[in-house]
Structure 1
Amino acid sequence: MKNLTKYLAITSLILVSSCRKLDIGPTDAYSTLNFWTADANVYNALNNNYSLMYNSGLYFGAEGLSDNAYSQNNNDLIQIASGNANSLTPKFAGDWAYYYSTIKSCNQFLANIDQNTTLGAITLNRLKAEVRFIRAFEHFNLTKWYGDVPLVTNDITQEEAKTISKTPKAQVVDFVISELKAIVSALPSKDQLPAGENGRITKGAALALQARVLLYQGNRMAEVVTVCEDLMNNASTNGTYSLVSNYSDLFSNPTINHTNTESILSLQYVPATTRTWTDFWDFAPNSVGGRVNALAPTQELVDDYIMLNGRGITDAGSGYDENNPYINRDPRLTATVVYDRYNWNNGGGVNGTSKIIYIKPGSDPTRPGPDEYSSGRQSSSPSGYYWRKYFDPSALANFTSGNNLHLFRYAEILLDYAEAKNSLGQMTAAVWNQTIGALRARAGFTDQAALSYPGGDVTNIIRRERRAELALEGIRIDDIRRWRIAETMLNRYAHGAKFSGDQSTDNGYIRVQLRRFNPSRDYLWAIPSGDQSLNAQLTQNPGY
């Protein structure tokens, strides 16, 4: 592998039947005895692990579990968000199997790669480091959702899998951190990657995952600061990272999306038929080519975008006008969410022309209005909002896109750093300017009231900033769970736009879904019942 934009499956092992001795590998085909001796096979196996690391369904589906979005046709997301999940819920079993199958693939790679004698020690150590990163990432995702989980560090047999016990979450986290620390020296910096290796795991990626894992523990903020400062201040060692000048370009400009100074690690995609994703087909308005709306932004997300003067919409002096709610707002709102009378040509048109998106019932001059809100019509948004973020103007039919999906961005490092410094009582004007102030300036804020350090307790300001900056990137559900506020945010109606003339119910805002979250149960997912039936050591999480 020289280029991770190549989406390759692992070369199948061809097992040849013959009368020759069983310990002699065939010379006319690859077998389990000689597969790893071929350099191309090693790289194909590496590429396979990259392809298994994560996918667009996990990436976007996480939004539907949070208060950022609602999915009207994914039964698993509906069941979990409404508090009706149980140990038989397919997503619990599906995600569990996905992560462990990737771990198994990684362990097979690590168990066999030393059979190769031609790539050289430096190259082999780098490849091992990349796969150890992927394995650590999968373990982190498992313990994030399920708590105590089996820690699997070698290629176990089916019989061993039936007796393996759960490892305490703290021990799994310590393993992940120790792995990430151990592999850094074997990885290149971002600046050392040739263009053909864009997308491979680097020192910066190992530090970014460390920062996220440590941040999510809540009690290791001093370590978060240390890791973030390492990444922010040691460009000569870890690579040069900075915010790109235009927020939307990160997600929608194909050139900048693939190669920029902000992305630390992304899921790699390639236009045309090599490796693509089509999720946006079910995010976009109908009038610009959308199909069935599968993930709708909520009013709660929209409401959290501040005004250009830095105030929240309910703050005194904000200037917010409920009758004209989308003006003078954080520019990231327009970069992320499509609202009534949105100008779709803002950054990319429809066949080169401008298009106004009419969502309020009865407002579209063209009848019937394809994007208008209509209760129960799955082709229209159930919340009266659509997504703009990750719109690819160069996409093929059905929004077939080759744009990358960002797993770790430098913006997240700045947010991690701000949160950690604030939690330690170390927030200053200098830290603010380096983090929140810099993110707002990049977003397009110019009012000093929004850019300057406000002093006092800025906890909620930092949390709101994370939500605005990272919307539709799968982070929000993690945040409200680790802050232990999911029981508030997910124990009420998710709402949509204010289209109803009836002010007696929620002031006219659409009731989209009644959410339920049991704090004594739902901070952990159920261990899949099928796995429990095979392995009695997998005790169930409380409440299931």
Structure 2
Amino acid sequence: MMKKKFLKYSALVTGLFLLLFTSCNDLDLAPTNKFTEDNYWTSPEKANMVLSMAYSQMLNSGNFFSNEALSDNIYEGRGSSSEKAISSGQADASNGRFSGEWQSCFGGIKTCHTFLENVDRIPDMDETLKMRMTAEARFIRAFLFFRLTTWFGDVPLFETDLTLSESKEIARTPQADVLAFIRSELDAIVTMLPTKDEYADDDKGRITSGAAIALKARTYLYSNDWDNVIANCEKLINSTSYGEYELFPSYEGIFLPENEYNDEVILDLGYVPSLRTWGEYYDYAPLSVGARVNALAPTQELVDDYIMLNGRTIDAENSGYTETDPYKNRDPRLSGTVVYHEFEWKKPDGSTQTIYIKPGTAPDESAAVDEYKGQGTNSTATGYYMRKYYDPQSLASFSSGLNLILIRYADVLLMYAEAKNELNQMNESVWNSTIRPLRERAGFTDTNALAYNSEWSNSDLRNIIRRERRSELALEGLRIFDIRRWRTAEDVLNGYPHGAQYGDPAIDNGYIRLDERKFNGERDYLWAIPQSQKDINPNLGQNTGY
């Protein structure tokens, strides 16, 4: 397992960064006993520390997973978080997630600007290295602006660091202009970035030309600009000019630490065991394998969307699905993603442990526990636990150095298939280069699950591709953005989500009824501009409905 050498800087740079950028006012002479803007920029290594700081600000593990709780894939069973307020329709402009998203993105943008405005100070720096690092910083800045405009729509756009007075007066830029800037930046830097194979081993995981193309495709996907989705995806599918990508042979293996930096990964968040880690699985894994409590759990609605091995949905005629044995003959990706009753949990030593979730089924109460104890307890609220991204090599309290993938080649294939279908260009050839290999990799063998059916309508294919996208990418933080761009959030995020069939038989056929969710289609497709920011800068205005 190769770990990024440059990432080790990010754990050390925070204190230095605070000294560097808050130590002096303009009238002070540069002190010689600490770093300042005047004496810091003396070597590429120091520049790399600031760039590593920007890498660490692209996204954090908490938001990576909590984005799923904003969707219909995951239910938050404990506490009263900002995400729970959003999903229940109670969020206003003072919501902590709104302000946190805003501040973290603009904090990262400031780091990028600090790097870009000072890297030329370094004496005798190799020009090729400087060009590459500059491109990395510009990519991160574009990535952060994309995060902002995806959530908030119109946001302030600026290409240099703002003064305090400017930050109190700047207005928001129309979303179309923000997206145009992001795409122009990605175009400008793509030839400045190496492919993944051109990096030395110590630099594995750095931003690549392939990542620039893939992110640009995603910006068009979120705009439903199908022609440009196709054009950018084809650069990765039909050419190796931006790196050679392919599906990793094992679906489960994509997310294991021994397979990091495999040929499916295009962009990820890098972590280093014992140095830069994340620990959310302490509150996601089954209690019987050492977890603390359960905070987030998969919904029945997610589980129900996994098709049968014969390619049929569970409610289709002759699907073979039965409520008494609901996990039999299902899409193998279900067991790579979700822990269900009698799931065989793979332990670090290679052995397995059966997870008993259905109440009253644990064979030996002294050695095992029923994982579902009802709502309001420490156990799962839905009768399911998360499996994807469990790290068998994690340290105490599930502290993990496993990288979290932001873009992988499977997503490129799914973007391409969706765009082709939306333009009425889906055919057997496109199917066989996109959906079929994904299903073959997952473990499907039945011809009905693998073969293209010429009798499918455009609408049929749309449903198939959207379901495929959900099953393939579940728990990877993307579902909320899909249902927003499809404008289906108001359908799937209103009403009661459900858990497994362990509830009152008189209510929803026994499927656990969870807290009601609310999504206002006239308001909630954009987030509120944080009140804390409006108090500082009234020129920011507000999105409709807040």
Q: 1:357 and 2:355 equivalent?
A: yes
- 1:504 Cα offset (Å): 2.4
> Are residues 1:292 and 2:293 paired?
yes
Using the TM superposition, name which of 455-464 and 28-37 deviates more: 28-37
Letter in 1 for 2:405: H
Would the alpha carbon gap of residues 466 and 358 (structure 1) be closer, same or farther in structure 2, given more than 3 Å must change? same
What amino acid does structure 2 have at the position aligned with 1:388? Answer: R
2:37 maps to 1:60? no
Shift of 1:374: 1.8
Deviates most, 414-423 or 5-14: 5-14
Aligned to 1:332: 333
Report the secondary structure of 2:500's partner residue.
Answer: strand
Residues 1:209 and 1:420: Cα distance change in structure 2 (over 3 Å): same
In the alignment, the residues of structure 1 paired with residue 108 and residue 295 of structure 2 have an alpha-carbon distance, to the nearest angstrom, of 27
SS in 1 for 2:512: strand
How many Å apart are 1:372 and its aligned residue?
2.6
- Correspondence 1:454 to 2:453: yes
Q: 1:17 to 1:184 in 2, by over 3 A?
A: closer
Instruction: Report the alpha carbon displacement of residue 445 of structure 1 after superposing the two structures with TM.
Output: 0.4
Aligned residues: 533
- What's the counterpart of residue 137 of structure 1? 143
Report how far residue 526 of structure 1 moved: 0.6
Match in the other structure for 2:499: 496
Aligned to 1:508: 510
Alignment of 1:103-502 (within 5 A): 103-218=109-224, 220-235=225-240, 237-251=241-255, 253-256=256-259, 258-271=260-273, 273-344=274-345, 348-349=346-347, 351-367=349-365, 370-455=369-454, 456=456, 457=458, 458-500=461-503, 502=504
For residues 226 and 74 of structure 1, what CA distance do their matches in structure 2 show? 43
Could you say which residue in structure 2 is the equivalent of 1:541? Answer: 543
Contact 2:20 / 2:40 at 8 angstroms: preserved in 1? no
Residues of 2 paired with 1:209 and 1:515: CA distance?
Answer: 31
- Work out whether residues 360 and 370 of structure 2, in 8 Å CA contact, stay in contact via their aligned partners in 1: no
Sort the Cα spacing of 1:14 and 1:427 in 2 relative to 1 into closer, same or farther, 3 A. closer
Amino acid at match of 2:479: R
| Structure 2 gap segments, 5+ residues each | none
Query: Secondary structure of the residue that 2:214 maps to in structure 1?
Result: helix
Cα distance, 1:528 vs structure 2: 0.5
For 1:11-44, what per-residue CA distance to the aligned partner results, in whole angstroms no more than 9, with x for missing partners? 34469999xx979756665432231122221011
Q: Is the 8 A contact 2:191 2:209 kept in 1?
A: yes
Identity across the alignment (%): 51
Alignment of 1:35-114 (within 5 A): 35-72=40-77, 73-114=79-120
Structure 1 length-normalised TM: 0.95
Cα shift at 1:3: 2.5
After alignment, is 359-368 or 398-407 more displaced?
Answer: 359-368
The 1-side partners of 2:9 and 2:418 are apart by 36
Q: Which amino acid aligns with 1:333?
A: L
Counterpart amino acid of residue 61 in structure 2: S
> 1:198–1:14: structure 2 CA closer, same or farther, 3 Å change rule?
closer
Change beyond 3 A, Cα 1:14–1:175: closer
1:353 Cα deviation after fit = 3.1
Whether contact under 8 Å (2:9, 2:49) holds in the other structure is no
SS of equivalent residue, structure 1 residue 498: coil
TM-score normalised to structure 2 length: 0.94
Structural RMSD (CA): 2.0
Which AA in structure 2 matches 1:359? I
Query: CA deviation digits over 1:471-494, x for unaligned, max 9?
Result: 110000000000000000001111
**1:361 shift after superposition:** 1.0
Aligned residues of 2:495 and 2:518 also touching (Cα < 8 A): yes
Distance 2:193 2:124 in 1: 19
Letter in 1 for 2:408: R
Q: SS in structure 1 opposite 2:285?
A: coil
